[in-house]
Amino acid sequence: MKFIVAAPELLDHLMKVNGAIVSKPVLPILDNFLFDIKGGTLTISTTDLETSMSTSLKVESKEDIMVAIPSRLLMDTVKMLNEQPITFTVNEDTFGIELSTAYGRYKLAGQSGADYPKVPEIESENSFTMPSNVLLRCISKTIFATGNDDLRLNLTGVFVELGKDSVNFVATDANRLVKLTRTDVKPGLEHSFILPKKALNLLKSSLSNDVTPIQIDFNKSNVFFTTNNLKLSCRLIDEKYPDYKAVIPQENNNVIVINRIDFLETVKRVANFSNKTTHQIRIKITGNELAASAEDIELANEANEKRACEYDGEDIEIGFNSRFLMELLSNVDHDSVQLRLSTPNRAGLLLPQENEADEEVLMLVMPMMLNNY
């Protein structure tokens, strides 16, 4: 059985789905690409049994073929073939594969495609669509705040909360929280699920920054993303997400408005002198002046900076983990931010001074106990 495909086009599609392959798969065959040709269309699939990806392209073929091909060896070979067309010859009995180009011939051992785990087909109970650039933004602005603790599996993914006329993307690791609401996405139903981080990172690297519609289908256990000739499916995190709304303080009478870049640069410089274990930074607001300070008593390091700000509220002093504060500030797009505080022992809210059209962003960072409280 033979088929012919151009090296650049094949490489492009291999790279789209390669991310679903893990370095130490539970089954050896999962370290392969599944090539399935039907009617002149080649579908390339990968899976780790939790997350699956597939992409399709046209090839020259007179026969239907299904074979599993070693991923790393194939990728490394195709990368070096430049603009060459490649002829694949598959032995139907041994599944040995020969690649023929103008440069030469290359043989590698394949496996029967029938032994490859079945890639999930779309079994939809509900569905909605989102523009690719909106989904990309929702992922990019929340995924950094997810947790890494496998003992708190529900915090390792992004919580998607669907409403009839809006959608919320929420991420937290119990130290900081990000909630992004889009009112231009109208799912038309009320539902929620937790998307795993691996699938989100694969989507983040695959989605185009344009208005291409992304079809999102889901049921109780899986979600399916479909766009053009790329499909991704993943198993949902089967855990209950915490009541994130309960930790968002509702009365924040102390409101600071400050230039985001200035504030971020101050935090970065002062954080260099903080304790390397706690990363604690102290924020004190008096009048229209914000003072940031940090110290490492053991090493006798200390730093203080002051910045002008607009402030409405009582004088307050509060501690934060500088790493969390820097990460949140780095993920705000607007030039000015609001920091809303209530008391030194309650979470602070960080918001852009102005939201993008059809979007609301709320960020929360938990305080650290200062030694004078």
Alpha helices per DSSP H over the chain = 7-17, 71-79, 132-140, 197-206, 260-271, 322-330
Q: How confident is the model over 64-91, as pLDDT tens digits?
A: 999 999 999 999 999 999 888 999 999 9
All structural domains of the chain with their residue ranges:
2-115, 126-245, 248-368
Amino acid residing at 291: A
- The pTM (predicted TM-score) of the whole model is 0.92
pLDDT at 192: 96
Is the domain defined by 2-115 classed in CATH 3.30.9.90?
A: no
What superfamily would CATH give domain 248-368? DNA Polymerase III, subunit A, domain 2 (3.10.150.10)
As a whole number of Å, the CA-based R_g of the chain is 26
Q: CA–CA distance from 47 to each of 29, 34, 77 (Å)?
A: 10, 9, 21
Q: CA–CA distance from 308 to each of 85, 137, 260, 311 (Å)?
A: 63, 31, 12, 9
Partners of 68 in beta bridges: 34, 111
Is residue 215 helix, strand or coil? strand
pLDDT at 225: 97
Does 126-245 match 2-115 at the fold level? yes
Q: CA–CA distance from 4 to each of 41, 45, 81, 91, 92 (Å)?
A: 11, 18, 14, 15, 17
pLDDT at 373: 41
CA 216 to chain centre: 16
Options 3.10.150.10, 3.20.20.140, 3.40.50.2300, 3.40.50.300; CATH of 126-245? 3.10.150.10
Phi, psi values for residue 18, rounded to 5°: -65, -30
For each successive 10 residues of the chain (373 residues), what is the average pLDDT? 94 96 93 96 96 95 93 95 92 94 94 92 87 97 96 96 97 97 95 97 94 95 92 96 94 94 97 95 95 92 95 95 97 95 94 92 95 58
Burial of 102 (0-12, 13-18, 19+ CB in 10 A): exposed
To which H or E segment does residue 257 belong?
strand 254-259
